[in-house]
Amino acid sequence: MVGEPVKSKLKKMGVTLEYAKDGTFPQFAAAHAADKILLLADRNTRRYAEELSLPHTSLCFIDEDEPVPDEAVCGKAVQEARSCDYVLAVGSGTLNDTAKYAALMTGKKSGVLATAPSMDGYASPVAAIMKGGFKVSEAAHVPSDILVDPAVLAAAPQEMIAAGAGDILGKYTCLTDWRLAQYHTGEAVDEEAFSDMLDAVQKVSSSVEDIARRDKCGVEKLTDALIISGLAMAEAGNSRPASGAEHHISHYLEMWFVAQKRRVPLHGIKVGLGTLVSAYLYEALERDGVTFKGDAATYLAAKAIPPVQELRTTLQKLGAPVQFSALGISRELFCETIKKAHTVRSRYTVLTLLQELGLTERYLPQLEALFY
């Protein structure tokens, strides 16, 4: 359970975080006693929607196992949201994004009942939806309520738990990228967001055994970190505390999967792999005595990242892949990703540094041998 400081920071953002009491959410039910609530659920989460004891609800059922937030799904949610007072996503990922989007389009408030600790978009104001086959980020509102039942989250599929942990472990490298940008290019670092995020990722790191066993306390720590990630982004006013080169690698691969019309591996699974690349690069650059503006301070900051071997073992314990080839991508695509992922965002990261120093070709064979 997050501490009071985090709860009150969320409150200031307009977000009420409630943990279940015997599977119910009395505070939420009381606050919305008069509201007609639209419950947004898919095949995997419908049972949780049906188990919720709230007085006035209607179900917007997306009859799919893995819906994508495209025009059809979003359109249906917007349509049904018009006749309701509040939109509650019963799910993570797509459903959370769709609820935020439907709320934005209809001027209603929204919330989320988290069903899987798989992503960090719970407390985020962004709705990532698909328009014309492309993923776009709509500036939506932060959900007014985040409902957490650790028993439900601990029962989520292992792959989703592994993905959430991968997304959080990636904060080690994205925070280091932020320091690199600070020392190398003079970018500002929001210290409060930085330390909130680092604190949360360290708590997850020390609970990996519990998370791997799906222990309720472990999964709760993971969920807390995913919520805090959204909070840290709000504090910083951008996604710096949550996204660096490891995310750019994930985004680059995602575009390829979408273009190929293939099932996109979970975000955090790809981020976990990207984290290994970034962590290795920070280790290797220091080991090889590579110099650049701000190098000493950057190498010092990089000490916060666990050794790459340890990160690899951690991902394995969680059942996450540690080789890119496990995602079914080609060796050529892996190399292209390392070379080009820095172009997906204009944010300075270890991959940008590598390009700037002309060292990509030097480190590519090592990365390929270790992680492809």
To Zn ion, the closest distance from the beta carbon of 121 in angstroms equals: 8
167 near Zn ion, judged by CB under 5 A: yes
Count other Cβ atoms within 10 Å, centred on residue 217: 13
To Zn ion, the closest distance from the beta carbon of 288 in angstroms equals: 29
177 near Zn ion, judged by CB under 5 A: no
To Zn ion, the closest distance from the beta carbon of 286 in angstroms equals: 26
Q: Please count the residues of this chain forming the interface with Zn ion, following the rule CB under 5 A.
A: 1
Instruction: In whole angstroms, give the CA distance from residue 92 to residue 213.
Output: 21
Q: Please identify, among the stretches 18-26, 49-57, 162-170, 258-266, the one whose residues bind Zn ion according to the rule CB under 5 A.
A: 162-170
Instruction: Report whether 219 contacts 153 (CB < 8 A).
Output: yes
Residue nearer to Zn ion on the CB measure, 167 or 235: 167
184-190: long-range contacts (C-beta < 8 A, 24 or more apart)?
184/292, 184/293, 184/294, 184/298, 184/348, 184/353, 185/348, 187/348, 189/240, 190/235, 190/236, 190/237, 190/240, 190/241
To Zn ion, the closest distance from the beta carbon of 106 in angstroms equals: 27
Residue nearer to Zn ion on the CB measure, 111 or 274: 274
97 near Zn ion, judged by CB under 5 A: no
Q: Please identify, among the stretches 9-17, 165-173, 179-187, 358-366, the one whose residues bind Zn ion according to the rule CB under 5 A.
A: 165-173
To Zn ion, the closest distance from the beta carbon of 51 in angstroms equals: 29
Residue nearer to Zn ion on the CB measure, 145 or 167: 167
To Zn ion, the closest distance from the beta carbon of 251 in angstroms equals: 10
Q: E-strand spans in the chain?
A: 16-19, 37-42, 57-62, 86-90, 109-114, 126-131, 134-139, 145-148
Q: ∠108-31-97 over CA atoms, to 5°?
A: 40
* Residue 19, helix vs strand vs coil: strand
Instruction: In whole angstroms, give the CA distance from residue 313 to residue 265.
Output: 20
235 near Zn ion, judged by CB under 5 A: no
- The helix (run of H) or strand (run of E) holding residue 236 is helix 216-236
Q: Quick one: which of 225, 251, 210 has its CA closest to 351? A: 251
Residue nearer to Zn ion on the CB measure, 78 or 119: 119
Residue nearer to Zn ion on the CB measure, 80 or 167: 167
246 near Zn ion, judged by CB under 5 A: no
Q: Are strands 134-139 and 126-131 parallel, antiparallel or unpaired?
A: antiparallel
Q: Are strands 86-90 and 109-114 parallel, antiparallel or unpaired?
A: parallel
Q: What residue number has its CB nearest to Zn ion?
A: 167
Side-chain half-sphere of 15: how many Cα atoms within 13 Å? 25
To Zn ion, the closest distance from the beta carbon of 165 in angstroms equals: 11
Q: Please identify, among the stretches 163-171, 178-186, 283-291, 358-366, the one whose residues bind Zn ion according to the rule CB under 5 A.
A: 163-171
To Zn ion, the closest distance from the beta carbon of 174 in angstroms equals: 9
Residue nearer to Zn ion on the CB measure, 115 or 229: 229
Given the rule CB under 5 A, which residues bind Zn ion?
167
